[in-house]
Amino acid sequence: MIHTEGVADVTEETFDAEVLGSGLPVLVQFTADWCPPCRQLAPVLREIAREEADRIKVVRLDVDHHPDLTVRFGVLATPTLMVFRAGEPVKSMVGARPKRRLLQELEDVLTA
């Protein structure tokens, strides 16, 4: 697993508490070690996790190690970025993107 400082790894055991039970919106990256765009996105997510820590939590889930969650949320490609608020998925994006574009796409989540 690519280590991304400030971005916690979640598992099937910790997902409900870390993501669904979070007081903040949570951006989950569904990722895999073999996925080049996932690696490309890692520094972007690390920066967002650090800069927006008071408004959004950023975590990572390895699709190869946690296929049940991948299926549960209908993830068909990596990287998939899914935002959860109050235990519900509210936004889903597929593919790597630059930081500025990702922040624009998260604007409604960050300001709500």
CATH number at residue 72: 3.40.30.10
Domain range spanning residue 76? 8-111
The residue from 7, 10, 27, 35 that is catalytic is 35
Catalytic site includes residue 38? yes
pLDDT at 111: 82
pLDDT at 6: 79
- CA 64, chain centre distance (Å): 15
pLDDT tens digits, the chain, 112 residues: what are they?
A: 445 567 999 999 999 999 999 999 999 999 999 999 999 999 999 999 999 999 999 999 999 999 999 999 999 999 999 999 999 999 999 999 999 999 999 999 988 6
Domain count, the chain: 1
Catalytic site includes residue 47? no
Q: 65 lies in a domain?
A: yes
Amino acid found at 96: A
